[in-house]
Structure 1
Amino acid sequence: MKRPAPAWWTAPQPLWLIAALFAWLLATAWVRPLMAPDEGRYGGVALAMLRSGDWLVPRLDGLPFFHKPPLFYWIGAAAMAVTGPVEWAARLPSVLGAGTAAAALFLFLRRWSTVRLALLSTVVLVTTPFFFLGAQFANLDMLVAGCISATILLAAGAALAKEREEPWRALLAGAYLFAAAGLLAKGLIGLVLPVAVIAIWCAATRRFAALRLALWLPGWAVLLAVAGPWFVAMQLKYPEFFDYFVVTQHFRRFASSGFNNEHGFWFYLPVLAGLTLPWFAWVFVPRGKDDAARPGRSDVDWLMWIWLAVIVVFFSLPRSKLVGYVLPALPPLAFLIAQRVLAGRVPETLLPKVRTMTLAAAAVCIACVGAVTVLASPPGARLRLPAGQAVAPGDQVLMLDSYYYEIPFYWNLREPVLISDDWQAAARDTRDNWRKEISDAGRFEPARAAATLLDRTQLAATLCAPRVTWLVGSNTAQLANPWLFRAQLVAVNESAAAWRFAGSATRDPHCLDVAPAPASGTNGDD
């Protein structure tokens, strides 16, 4: 007698499943230190928001940082208000984005496809190494991917429900709400990409009447009420905001070749194939015998194919490409892989293979976290002050010719650090690097920037004061700054070092002067 399939395979409970998804995604979010530069940058901005009490203006080292909107920082700062500056709190926005994408995929497919396909698609998604690592990486890509996924699935669900004369308004309001969250997570792509996917899907499936849902006034009221106030407030406070945030950070970055990480149009194809193993291997497995009798593509099939294509093509167009940009393509890819797994096969006999593959994929996810922990831990995260030493109130921290994003987070600093560099040259630099980020931020508040960003000629005036300064720089910084030999070396690793400089109680302007070495090769005969 054939044993019946377990209940979790035929009728999983949504609440328990969603709770399990979040628990799995959080499982290793605390394990590794924040990576440079992204995790240190975004975790540091969230912590600065909490420390300053200014929940409107994101700040990098005390200066307005408008590369991205504030949703990630709001979530991270709220989490750290409860837990303090710990890694998993800094990564919680990404975990929430991933959990939202997975939960939305399950609930949508459970209603508009089969329960088995809904469950397997969700399992494939959350045990895909690319998705799992993205969920535990503190930057904005996974958060906006979750918002985009929820917007697409809620909007499609509203269109399908309206056709069948089922309740649809709450679904559509949810789509507009998540579109607003996407705008606050990473800007225009949070709205533009879902609109493109749904519009092409409606055209491909001849749902022209459903396109009118894009003009639903209550939805636009929700979107503007949620997303509008922050953008209006920033434009009123900083007149240059629109040009920098919209024109430069959206359109110029999309079209220009002056930014980093340039790759060919084909870049995301091997990324998606390689980083979704072992599940992607099912693409090459022959279909089941009964799959030929399967009818043509359903409405859900069309949605997933169009969703995948729009995301991949859109992010393939600009020259500047980062791996995480394509994370919104993973939910439809997980569906298509799960569909291939189930194609023409008896679900009950397939169950042992699915269980084995799931355990193998989960093991790969954990192994990837371990590998990243060992191989990619940043210098700043390991540059800890010795036991018993800490930056006291009134001390200042100064970074020499670099900005170590993780230091404010791991040293639990409450004030911005000083940064010494050639800032006139940085203002002319067109390269996308830490100098340009901070120099651009300084344009919005020049007075604050003048007090924070020091030219190298200002070092003596800053350090020769009756206060302690903690210095952070390259572990070879003493070669270019011989006066560092007067400071106490307190921490060092393979690339960075920290010193404690006592300053000058008498404000001696020559406290950094180094006496010249005695001449060599002299004797008493001349």
Structure 2
Amino acid sequence: MATIFVVAAIALRPLIPVDETRYLTVAWEMRQSHDWLVPHLNGEAYSHKPPMLFWLINLAWGAFGEHAFVARLVPAAFLPISVWLTARLGGMIGGKATGDQAALIAVGFLVFVVSGTLVMFDAMLTAACLAGLIGLFIAADGRRLAGFGLFGLMIGAGLLIKGPAGLIHLMPAALLAPLWTARRQNWAVWYVGVIAALAIGIGIGLAWALPAAHAGGPDFARAILWGQTTGRMVNAFDHARPVWYYLALAPLLLLPWSLSRNLWIALLDRSREPGSRLNRLVWIAAGGTVILFSLVSGKQVHYVAPAIPSLAIGLALLMARRRALPEPAFGVATFLVGALLVLIYPLDLLHETWPPYPFAIGGLVTMILSVIVWKLRAMPATAAAAAVASIFTGLHTLAVLGGLALYDASWVTPYLASGINEKEVAVVGSYAGEYGYAARLDRPVTVIAPEAARDWMASHSDGVVVQAWRHSPALEATPVELHPYRGGMLGVWTAASSSPVEPRDASASR
């Protein structure tokens, strides 16, 4: 099922700015410059993320061609891998049936599936973290060399995938091992093994970071070795959220399982028999992730997605000890999501120029599929997965019909691609790589302030200017093409900009 999610997402959904377009542009610039050590965005060293994703995308491009499908498949392929590892870890703790159930529960979390199909780092980091937890399990089972070796390698992989965030997912379970290990341990030996694994992981990370810091210059070195980590943890320069952020969003993050009566009965039932101590491993891993990220200044919804498989294993272990009750709420919730999509335009719930019909059709598809979810209510895990699949299908139906046209800037690329080696390209305001890979640009664009746009255009008669704005454009001339975009407008000016152009309906811009 996870593989179907991946293929459907890549085939039906456009690249979503700014994250997906930015990461593909960084990978593209790495390919253009042949600088495999220091990632770049618009010609400048890019310190916000380590290079693992960009390396893997370039390996895939080298093998299969420079296609968007190939690049998008690289991170998304780790979603089914993560589901398989969930089954493996769940099987090691509670037996094969529990592992299989945990894998099915994992794909029944909407945030896990959606984040895992994006050109981002979450599915990759999830796979590394699950493999690291398997390493800890092996070490606790007595095979310390193999277990701590795997744990150390996965710490290193996590550092190269998303920096120190990987430690947040893995270290609580390692440090709190006395709470979950079933076998008697020599704790001095255990913590020596943890320190050794940590040294292996940090060594892997530094094997890239130190040469990259030397090659990228002082500012880049300071950012990757210190600034980005402290900036996100203590006083986030981006995505700063209060400490209660994840607690407030928990009902949404856990959908549809937050509506499960099986879950709440199991959690509140004080008469249940205690499970194996090993069961605590996944609860410590999931709970530690949420607690530590709550204390970190920078937060996003998808940051905690790698904790979902551990939570899924915990739920499978809980429900394995009791008879499952039917879950009618899953079908009802799916129907209501579809109804909301149908009503979102008549009720004017979106204050943008969104096309109505894709939302209505996507909502109707979701409502129809909710009948299947209702029919499966006697099998909670299957019903939850079906609910996610139904909502996923409805959302991608509206995407392919143009419902996400306001987030699709691909129409700009013919104007920019024609400028390769010929015309200069300027972006007014800010630029986050939205067009670099899409237009296959072979050199940086010029980022200019709005007040400089007129002079720049006057001095570049064959240039191309792109601007996204909410209030007014920087140039008085009518753009050669104009579309609604992300709550405002997106326009392109060239030397041919002369005649008035009416904004296109968003549904017609795909």
Range of TM-score over shorter length = 0.7 to 0.9
Structure 1's 129 and 172: CA in aligned 2 closer, same or farther, altered over 3 A? same
- Give the superposition deviation at 1:195: 1.9
Matched residues in 1 for 2:405 and 2:27: separation?
Answer: 20
Q: Percent identity?
A: 22
Q: Is the 8 A contact 2:40 2:46 kept in 1?
A: yes
Structure 1's 411 and 83: CA in aligned 2 closer, same or farther, altered over 3 A? farther
Q: Deviations over 1:3-61 (max 9, x none)?
A: xxxxxxxxxxxxxxxxx644543332232112122112112111211222211111111
Structure 1's 208 and 265: CA in aligned 2 closer, same or farther, altered over 3 A? farther
Partner of 1:240: 219
Partner of 1:27: 8
With normalisation by structure 2, the TM-score equals 0.75
Farther-moved stretch of structure 1 (32-41 vs 357-366) = 357-366
2:480 to 489, 494, 497: 489
**1:393 aligned partner, one-letter code:** N
Farther-moved stretch of structure 1 (375-384 vs 329-338) = 375-384
Partner of 2:201: 223
Q: Deviations over 1:469-490 (max 9, x none)?
A: 22111368985333x45xx714
Residue 183 (structure 2) pairs with residue 202 (structure 1): no
- Give the superposition deviation at 1:157: 2.6
**Structure 1 spans left out of the alignment, 5+ residues:** 1-19, 423-455, 504-526
Residue 465 (structure 2) pairs with residue 471 (structure 1): yes
- Report SS of the residue matched to 2:176: helix
Partner of 1:64: 45
Structure 1's 220 and 314: CA in aligned 2 closer, same or farther, altered over 3 A? closer
- Alignment map for 1:345-494 (pairs within 5 Å): 345=323, 352=379, 354-370=381-397, 376-379=404-407, 381-385=409-413, 390-403=418-431, 405-421=433-449, 460=455, 464=459, 468-474=462-468, 480-482=474-476, 484=477, 489-490=480-481, 492-494=483-485
- Rg: which structure is higher? 1
- Report SS of the residue matched to 2:255: coil
Q: Is the 8 A contact 1:134 1:324 kept in 2?
A: yes
Q: Is the 8 A contact 1:101 1:146 kept in 2?
A: yes
Q: Is the 8 A contact 1:147 1:178 kept in 2?
A: yes
Q: Is the 8 A contact 2:53 2:161 kept in 1?
A: yes
Q: Deviations over 1:115-161 (max 9, x none)?
A: 1110010111123211100111222233223322321232223222x
Partner of 1:187: 163
Matched residues in 2 for 1:253 and 1:359: separation?
Answer: 36
- Give the superposition deviation at 1:234: 1.6
**Structure 2 spans left out of the alignment, 5+ residues:** 326-375, 498-510
- Report SS of the residue matched to 1:240: helix
- Alignment map for 1:131-150 (pairs within 5 Å): 131-150=112-131
- Give the superposition deviation at 1:204: 5.4
Partner of 1:172: 148
Structure 1's 77 and 283: CA in aligned 2 closer, same or farther, altered over 3 A? farther
- Give the superposition deviation at 1:404: 5.6
- Give the superposition deviation at 1:193: 3.6
- Report SS of the residue matched to 2:36: coil
- Report SS of the residue matched to 2:293: helix
Matched residues in 2 for 1:350 and 1:170: separation?
Answer: 42
- Give the superposition deviation at 1:64: 0.2
Partner of 1:442: none
Matched residues in 1 for 2:64 and 2:482: separation?
Answer: 27
Partner of 1:339: 317
Q: Is the 8 A contact 1:46 1:73 kept in 2?
A: yes
**1:363 aligned partner, one-letter code:** S
- Report SS of the residue matched to 1:179: helix
Q: Is the 8 A contact 1:93 1:143 kept in 2?
A: no
With normalisation by structure 1, the TM-score equals 0.73
Q: Deviations over 1:157-201 (max 9, x none)?
A: 3222x1xxxx55334322211111100011122235412222113
Structure 1's 265 and 284: CA in aligned 2 closer, same or farther, altered over 3 A? farther
Matched residues in 1 for 2:91 and 2:443: separation?
Answer: 49
Matched residues in 2 for 1:308 and 1:274: separation?
Answer: 16
Matched residues in 2 for 1:286 and 1:71: separation?
Answer: 39
- Give the superposition deviation at 1:242: 4.0
1:498 to 484, 492, 502: 492
Structure 1's 203 and 154: CA in aligned 2 closer, same or farther, altered over 3 A? same
- Give the superposition deviation at 1:70: 0.7
Structure 1's 123 and 327: CA in aligned 2 closer, same or farther, altered over 3 A? same
Partner of 2:253: 275
Farther-moved stretch of structure 1 (355-364 vs 203-212) = 203-212
- Report SS of the residue matched to 1:105: helix
Q: Is the 8 A contact 2:180 2:278 kept in 1?
A: no
Compute the RMSD of aligned alpha carbons. 3.6
1:101 to 82, 87, 98: 82
Q: Deviations over 1:411-460 (max 9, x none)?
A: 222221111128xxxxxxxxxxxxxxxxxxxxxxxxxxxxxxxxx65974
Structure 1's 92 and 168: CA in aligned 2 closer, same or farther, altered over 3 A? farther
- Report SS of the residue matched to 1:28: helix
**1:364 aligned partner, one-letter code:** I
Matched residues in 2 for 1:382 and 1:62: separation?
Answer: 21
**1:279 aligned partner, one-letter code:** W
Q: Is the 8 A contact 1:396 1:417 kept in 2?
A: yes
Structure 1's 260 and 386: CA in aligned 2 closer, same or farther, altered over 3 A? closer
- Give the superposition deviation at 1:300: 2.5
- Report SS of the residue matched to 1:409: coil
- Give the superposition deviation at 1:69: 0.8
Residue 23 (structure 2) pairs with residue 42 (structure 1): yes
Matched residues in 2 for 1:205 and 1:398: separation?
Answer: 59
Structure 1's 241 and 399: CA in aligned 2 closer, same or farther, altered over 3 A? closer
